[in-house]
Structure 1
Amino acid sequence: MENIPVIYMVLALAVVLLGGLVHGTFGVGFPLVATPLLALMTDVQTAILLTLAPNILVNGYSMLRGGGWAASLGRFWPIALWMLAGAVVGTLWLVSVDPNPFRLLLAATMVFYLTSGHFHRLDWGWIRRHPRRSGAGFGFGAGVLGGTVNVGGPVLMIFFLEMKVAPLVLVQAINLAFFVSKIAQAGTFAVLGYFGLDLLLWSLPLALISLAGLRAGMALRDRVPADRFRGWLRGLLWLMAGMLVVQFFAQFLGQ
């Protein structure tokens, strides 16, 4: 991380600003935007390490904003614990195997969910009928994907969309899960010797810029009705699925 060109610094600041803007608007999305763009200038693992502090700040701020957060987090805190466990497993997986195929798996899951309305016999009501078991599965799965490819938000979005929670509760609960999982991931990287002082010093200014983008996105989201917000989330899932497929083939063909 020494002697980094000035242009890299400027581009990195622009990337996290954009990531914060997207996250503030939709309540999720910072790592999906920031990680692949930073990875174009470095590698995936370094990109994940650089975005740890911005992720923790963005998730923490989003989790506590909006009022009534104690009730929201009190209802869904077990999902955060499952995601913590999954994040540790995913991080250990990241440093030992190629995580790229997980992108295709995640994209396929998202497309399957988004098109499931065309399959009349397919019932997603089991999520609402068994919230604890489904929450555990979705939470752990999101944690593993967050640890390997830094993208676990779409999995939790599927769960909370089916639970039909209010937009504010959705944003607060998802960000609680990511706040906890990213702290666990940072600790795992530190224990393994991957998270040094140089990366920490780099990630702190990136965190401050990401917060500026986050606040701008939140100002936009506050003007959007709940039904339209859910429609935007479905649109974001389609976009995320497409980006994941592009990222997979970009890395696969670049090997």
Structure 2
Amino acid sequence: MSDLSIPFLLAATMTFFAAGAVKGVTGMGLPTVAMGVLGALVSPLAAASLLIVPSLVTNIWQLLAGRAFRPLVRRLWPMMLAICAGTMLGSRWLAGGDSGATTTALGIALVVYAGYTLFARQLRVPPRDEPWLSPLIGAVTGIVTGGTGVFVFPAVPYLQALGLSRDDLVQALGLSFTVSTVALAAGLGARGAFAPETMGLSVLALAPALAGMWAGQRLRDRISPATFRRVFLSFLLLLGAQMALWPLL
């Protein structure tokens, strides 16, 4: 990545503030929003590298801010292990710069899921199915994460289908995203895909991302669970549409 002009740095700062604010409200969206904007300015690999530090720190903040850390870890650890394995496997595609078709397909799937759930009945996963479904969802999520740098699908729809409360859902998303970020960093690092210059910019991107997340969390505290659900699903639908159209933008 060679363009370190003032306009690029300002665009990156505003992008990470906006992405952090979205994450503060909905518990997700920082990688997808940032990848969507920065992907138009730099390569997907460079954009994913910029995300590592702000994504990791904001995810840890989100994970530790709730009260259900231990119960969620006990419930979701098979999914988290599978995410690690899948991400390490899938990161070769992102390192090779080939993620356009996968991102489009993921976007279409998110639009279908969010649209159905927003306007129809909420999907639910029976507790008896979690032992086999959690590792499967984790493995697919990991492969998708490694291939696109986006942590959303199918982990987010699955976690929402578990029927968690608003705060527990946000904390569970923090757990999934934290594991995904660490695994993605390890996968890209193992393939020599990090540049020292990019990692330095990733550290600088942390400040606007944290400021945006703080602002978003203040807003989330003021809305009802029903409003949160509508906002959450509406944003998921918009994310899917943006991902589906990404290669055309």
Task: Normalising by structure 2, report the TM-score.
Answer: 0.90
Partner Cα separation in structure 2 for residue 8 and residue 111 of structure 1: 30
Which residue number corresponds to residue 8 of structure 1? 8
Partner Cα separation in structure 1 for residue 59 and residue 177 of structure 2: 6
RMSD of aligned residue pairs (Cα, Å)? 2.3
The unaligned stretches of length 5 or more in structure 1 are 251-255
Query: Aligned pair 1:235/2:234, yes or no?
Result: yes
| Contact 1:21–1:214 (CA under 8 A) maintained in structure 2 | yes
Partner Cα separation in structure 2 for residue 130 and residue 104 of structure 1: 29
1:186-241 Cα distance to aligned partner (Å, 9 max, x none): 12222222213222211101012211111110111112222221222211121112
Partner Cα separation in structure 2 for residue 68 and residue 75 of structure 1: 11
Which residue number corresponds to residue 168 of structure 2? 169
Structure 1 residue 126: Cα displacement = 5.2
Worse-matched range after superposition: 238-247 or 3-12: 3-12
Which residue number corresponds to residue 29 of structure 2? 29
Structure 1 residue 107: Cα displacement = 2.3
Query: Aligned pair 1:46/2:46, yes or no?
Result: yes
The unaligned stretches of length 5 or more in structure 2 are none
Regions of 4+ moved over 3 Å: 114-118, 122-129
| Contact 1:91–1:147 (CA under 8 A) maintained in structure 2 | yes
The equivalences for 1:73-112 within 5 A come to: 73-96=73-96, 98-112=98-112
Partner Cα separation in structure 2 for residue 160 and residue 116 of structure 1: 16
Which residue number corresponds to residue 222 of structure 2? 223
Worse-matched range after superposition: 163-172 or 74-83: 74-83
| Contact 1:144–1:152 (CA under 8 A) maintained in structure 2 | no
Partner Cα separation in structure 2 for residue 205 and residue 117 of structure 1: 37
The equivalences for 1:153-232 within 5 A come to: 153-232=152-231
Aligned length: 248
Change (3 A) 1:14 1:114: closer
Structure 1 residue 89: Cα displacement = 1.6
Partner Cα separation in structure 1 for residue 100 and residue 32 of structure 2: 14
| Contact 2:63–2:69 (CA under 8 A) maintained in structure 1 | yes
Worse-matched range after superposition: 25-34 or 102-111: 102-111
Structure 1 residue 32: Cα displacement = 0.8
Change (3 A) 1:246 1:131: same
SS in 2 for 1:130: helix
Partner Cα separation in structure 2 for residue 114 and residue 2 of structure 1: 37
Partner Cα separation in structure 1 for residue 123 and residue 152 of structure 2: 18
Worse-matched range after superposition: 80-89 or 48-57: 80-89
Partner Cα separation in structure 1 for residue 124 and residue 53 of structure 2: 36
Partner Cα separation in structure 1 for residue 133 and residue 189 of structure 2: 31
